[in-house]
Amino acid sequence: MAFHAARSALTREKRRGALSHYHGTLAALAADTAGADIPQRVRTFTQAARDDILAAFAVLRGIQAAAIVVHGAAGCAAASIALAEADGARWYAVDLSERDSILGGEAPLRATILRAIADGAQTVFVVGTPVVAINNDDVHAVLLALASETAVPIQYVNTDGFRSKSPLTGFDVAFHALLRLVEAPDGESTSAEADARHAPRGFVNLLAVSENTRNIAAITTTLSAFGIAWNLLPRLARPENIRRAGRARATISLNRDESEYFGLGLEAAQGVPYPALPAPIGLAATRRFVLELGAIFGRAAQAQAYADAQEAALRELIDARPLAGKRVFLQTDTALVAGLGALLRELGGEVAGVALSSVDLNNRAHLARLDAAGDIPALVAVGQPFELANVLAHTALDYYIGPEQVAFAARLGARPVSLANIIYYGYEGVRAFAAALAAPVPDFRERVRDVYSEGWLKKNGAWHLKREVR
Amino acid sequence: MSNIENPRTGCALHGALATLEAIEGVVPIVHANAGCAIQHALANQDTGGYIGGQSVPATNIIDKQVIFGGGARLREQIKNTAKVIDGRLYVVVGSCACAMVGDELTGMAREAAEQGVPVAASNVAGFHGGVHRGYERVLLDLIERLPELESTPPHREEDARPLVNVLGLVPGGNPYYKGDLEELRRILEAIGLRANVFFGPDGYAALRSLPHARLNLVFSRWGEALAARLEEKYGTPQLIFDAAPLGIEEVSLFAQALVERLDLDAGAAERFLEREEALAEYFLLGAANRYFDEGVGKRVALVGDTEIVLRIGSFLSRFAAVDIRTTIHTDRDDDEDIPAYFDGDTHASRDSGEIAAILRASDIDLIFASALETDVARALDVPLLVISPPSRDRAPGGQTYAGLRGAVALGADFLTLIRQARRTDEENAKRRIVAGRG
């Protein structure tokens, strides 16, 4: 049975051999993950980390006219305070009590789903939590009963917070639910007008999850500039954007670590090609991205002209090598590390260390593409700032670039650049990224307090890791 | 209503975490699946202190520990937390998952404490209730364990002023709680007392001074169980207020009660209050004409915990003669009887959909609520001032709506709000005129 046809997605560990704990050097990490079976490690000390539920939220939150029903205690939906988008999904917590955790939460779940539908939801996603997983609530029975009462599609996103050590599993579980909403090739079109608009060239599915909207806009602008129509999902997607994904000419991901499951699933189920394009970050990767898409859509000449014009406009910046001689630590997803590393090199800098979210059988090739100067420190971790603290305390840096821990890096004297709110995708990203690195930053060296013991900062950073015994 | 649309705070675990994070020197250890502590970090971004966000130690238990128990993982985590993170006191807090599988937190903490590591535990779980329950529960558990954790009593300062404990202001219960506590400290110290707020830089040393106070001051019902336990255990009497004082009248009554109760220098308190009143007049009454120009007697709705609703509602009634049409209490159960503090409707709800429906049905000019009410305020075309969580983009810093400085700040914000309302009315009127032109 194909993976997408199963009842739920497998964990990243089972499907891709994902490694989520490593502390060493890049060369050692590459060697360690080169075999058919990636050896797993466990931490004997950990800090707060994201789980599969939060990753699923990231996939679902931007879907318009949808309801996210969090089947758990009220706190399991607390992240909605930060993640809810004004034009995205509406959030509901089933608000299970201790009593429900003993007697079962099926009745309050049913009531919450019916409320969401009454409030106008066109699609309902029920997100699982540890309480219902441990209590073994029969969510499928509730959904089956409701299927005869409502035409609104209700999908179970079977997350539980503890099945996988890799939070990235949650992306797959949520995309598994989305795949079930895609119409079969012979399905009735619900968006004839949109189809007519895109004819005769068709459109590309553009998968975007965690990227800030300006990064997404940088790529949609690029696609439109050389005449390719796009179907953005799951961010800002309407239900019909998901339903018609099977009629696309191709699917591309802005970050394959997040959305590969959907691309591969759609390719397997409906034959929509999912070419192995690099993340469009930096001049070289963006050129390849543009040219390959141009070829797929019969717009090769337009793509070539567009890429040439954009690169010519950036030539002065690249020739100036604004990062010449600068050592940079990169914290990012593995699927993006080669692109960001190349962008740094294009600007004259060098990668002096990396922290990656997960390394697995599918994305390990990016480690070689990073083309780092010499053997550099490498971490594999989600969160775990204490590990980063240890590495940063031993590494001379000019810049620290990442979505997290930037204030801590600043304390150690590196210039911090947060990826959270800047543009780094596409040609627009080259200029914006260089500008962000050139922007003045306050001196935080004495301002950010440190909670880590001297002993830990001096220790070998792998002191707390042990090999997993199966 | 059992379910909640758009929750506005977290669960009991999140309340316990916010409480511990706010006490400098205290390091929480979360025994839970991954995600629980991050949900708190995302939901309560402005409550953190010494440690918070992704820095919080957490066991991140996986299926193996859910099935076979997570005791061994917790033991290992406690031991290594003390090696990696500097702390005066480590506090293990539980979760729904570890409560359901029956992991024994107290025993693990005691085992480590016997080896000289200062560790306590609180069997809190998300499904025990909201953030207020977590505050109450974790502090009750700490009160039980504090005397055992260090053999030497806390350093007693030479300061002869009586120490009073400040209880009932829940971290994150309102966005400005840090500023509120500091304003209360300022007032208490000005009238001859030492304030033990224990949140913030005073931290763990202040927490250990809880038993040495002369009086427990309680500012909401969430401090009542704590004061009762401290009285039972240490004989400390208590003085209970429904809310923190706001404005010169409330602060004067508050100061008078303390002067009488603790036999303080009434003259010193009076001099302080006179000076503060003069300052308040300087800031606020200088703008009296503008208040009357913009129109007082506005019809308002207040949404938040009972403490902040009562505090702000009472002040605005006196100061600006507002007509409180609707109050919605977010820390009460649906079926709870709420005293009718004001003439208008009284509701209990944490549900954003239900709150929006109540506000839509209310005839109001202004809304004092959370950032979640932005859409309904926009739909009703009335201004909103954020007084309850979540505050979303508004970073609270040291701002306060308590005491005397809080009154000046609220008075100014109120004036800003009614000016905005008047401008909106004028723009709407202009649009009508233009639309009606032939």
User: Taking CB atoms and an 8 Å cutoff, what residues of chain A touch B101?
Assistant: 134
- With respect to residue A342, please indicate whether it lies within any of the assigned structural domains: yes
- Same-domain status, A204 and A251: yes
Would you give the DSSP letter of residue A270? H
Residue contact A453–B8, C-beta within 8 A: no
- Same-domain status, A129 and A209: no
User: Taking CB atoms and an 8 Å cutoff, what residues of chain A touch B81?
Assistant: 45
Q: State the Cα–Cα distance between residues B356 and B323, nearest whole angstrom.
A: 19
| Chain B CB within 8 Å of residue A51 CB | yes
- Map residue B103 onto helix, strand or coil: coil
In this complex, how many residue pairs, one in chain A and one in chain B, have their CB atoms less than 8 Å apart?
217
Look at residue A139 in the predicted model and tell me its pLDDT.
96
- Same-domain status, A426 and A343: yes
- Closest-CA residue of B relative to A87 is B375
Look at residue A189 in the predicted model and tell me its pLDDT.
46
User: Taking CB atoms and an 8 Å cutoff, what residues of chain B touch A83?
Assistant: 42
Look at residue B151 in the predicted model and tell me its pLDDT.
47
- State which fold the B12-149 domain adopts: Rossmann fold (3.40.50)
- Closest-CA residue of B relative to A54 is B35
User: Taking CB atoms and an 8 Å cutoff, what residues of chain A touch B11?
Assistant: 73-76, 78
- Same-domain status, A58 and A117: yes
| Chain B CB within 8 Å of residue A274 CB | no
| Chain B CB within 8 Å of residue A135 CB | yes
Look at residue A105 in the predicted model and tell me its pLDDT.
92
A232 C-beta neighbours (distance < 10 Å), count: 21
Contact A66, A239 (CB under 8 A): yes
Q: State the Cα–Cα distance between residues B174 and B252, nearest whole angstrom.
A: 23
User: Which stretches in chain B have pLDDT values below 50?
Assistant: 151
- Same-domain status, A326 and A299: no
Residue contact A74–B7, C-beta within 8 A: yes
Q: State the Cα–Cα distance between residues B140 and B167, nearest whole angstrom.
A: 12
CATH superfamily of the domain spanning B163-284: Nitrogenase molybdenum iron protein domain (3.40.50.1980)
Residue A132 main-chain phi, psi, to 5 deg: -75, -25
- With respect to residue A14, please indicate whether it lies within any of the assigned structural domains: no
> Residue B34: which of A45, A50, A81 has the nearest Cβ?
A50
- With respect to residue A336, please indicate whether it lies within any of the assigned structural domains: yes
User: Taking CB atoms and an 8 Å cutoff, what residues of chain B touch A455?
Assistant: 83
Look at residue A200 in the predicted model and tell me its pLDDT.
42
Residue A380, beta-bridge partner list: A22, A356
If DSSP states are collapsed to H, E and C, what string results for chain A? CCHHHCCCCCCHHHHHCCECCEEEEHHHHHHHCCCCCCCCEEECCCECCCCHHHHHHHHHCCCCCEEEEEECCHHHHCCHHHHCCCCCCEEEECCCCHHHHHHCCHHHHHHHHHHHHHCCCCEEEEEECHHHHHHCCCHHHHHHHHHCCCCCCEEEECCCCCCCCCCCHHHHHHHHHHHCCCCCCCCCCCCHHHHHHHCCCCEEEEEECCCCHHHHHHHHHHHHHCCCEEEEEECCCCHHHHHHHHHCCEEEECCHHHHHHHHHHHHHHHCCCCCCCCCCCCHHHHHHHHHHHHHHCCCHHHHHHHHHHHHHHHHHHHHHCCCCCCEEEEEECHHHHHHHHHHHHHCCCEEEEEEECCECCCCCHHHHHCCCCCCCEEEECCCCHHHHHHHHHCCCCCEEEECCCHHHHHHCCCEEEEHHHCCCCHHHHHHHHHHHHHCCCCCCCCCCCCCECHHHHHCCCCCCEEECCC
**ipTM for the assembly:** 0.93
- Same-domain status, A325 and A461: yes
| Chain B CB within 8 Å of residue A48 CB | yes
> Residue A54: which of B35, B77, B80 has the nearest Cβ?
B35
Tell me how close the Cα of B55 comes to any Cα of chain A, in angstroms: 6
> Residue B353: which of A52, A119, A130 has the nearest Cβ?
A119
- Taking only the tens of pLDDT, chain A with its 470 residues reads 566 677 789 999 999 999 999 999 999 999 999 998 898 888 999 999 999 999 999 999 999 999 999 999 999 999 999 999 888 999 999 999 888 888 889 999 999 999 999 999 999 999 999 999 999 999 999 999 999 999 999 999 999 999 999 999 999 999 999 999 999 876 544 455 555 444 445 999 999 999 999 999 999 999 999 999 999 999 999 999 999 999 999 999 999 999 999 999 999 999 999 999 999 999 999 999 999 999 999 999 999 999 999 999 999 999 999 999 999 999 999 999 999 999 999 999 999 999 999 999 999 999 988 877 678 999 999 889 899 888 888 888 899 998 876 777 777 778 888 898 899 999 999 999 999 999 887 776 655 557 888 888 888 888 888 877 66
- Same-domain status, A129 and A207: no
> Residue B43: which of A79, A95, A384 has the nearest Cβ?
A79
Tell me how close the Cα of A112 comes to any Cα of chain B, in angstroms: 6
Q: State the Cα–Cα distance between residues A130 and A186, nearest whole angstrom.
A: 38
- Same-domain status, A372 and A422: yes
The secondary structure element, H or E, covering residue B404 is helix B403-436
- Same-domain status, A351 and A454: yes
- Same-domain status, A240 and A349: no
Residue B344 main-chain phi, psi, to 5 deg: -70, -170
Q: What is the CATH number of domain B288-427?
A: 3.40.50.1980
- Same-domain status, A285 and A337: no
> Residue B5: which of A53, A79, A90 has the nearest Cβ?
A90
Residue contact A73–B35, C-beta within 8 A: no
The pTM of this model reads 0.94
Instruction: Evaluate whether B12-149 and B288-427 have a shared fold.
Output: yes
Give B391's contacts (C-beta < 8 A, 6+ positions apart). B46, B175, B370, B371
CATH of the domain at A295: 3.40.50.1980
Interface mutation vs chain B, best among A45, A358, A386, most B CBs within 10 Å: A45
Residue A190, beta-bridge partner list: none
- Same-domain status, A330 and A458: yes
Domain hosting residue A245, numbered range: 192-308
Q: Which of A250, A284, A308 is the last residue of a domain?
A: A308
Residue contact A53–B2, C-beta within 8 A: no
* Domain definitions of chain B by residue range: 12-149, 163-284, 288-427
- With respect to residue A341, please indicate whether it lies within any of the assigned structural domains: yes
- With respect to residue A232, please indicate whether it lies within any of the assigned structural domains: yes
Tell me how close the Cα of A258 comes to any Cα of chain B, in angstroms: 17
Q: Which of A308, A333, A348 is the last residue of a domain?
A: A308
The total number of structural domains in chain A stands at: 3
- With respect to residue A35, please indicate whether it lies within any of the assigned structural domains: no
User: Taking CB atoms and an 8 Å cutoff, what residues of chain A touch B83?
Assistant: 45, 453, 455-456
Look at residue A197 in the predicted model and tell me its pLDDT.
47
Beta-sheet pairing, B238-240 with B299-304: unpaired
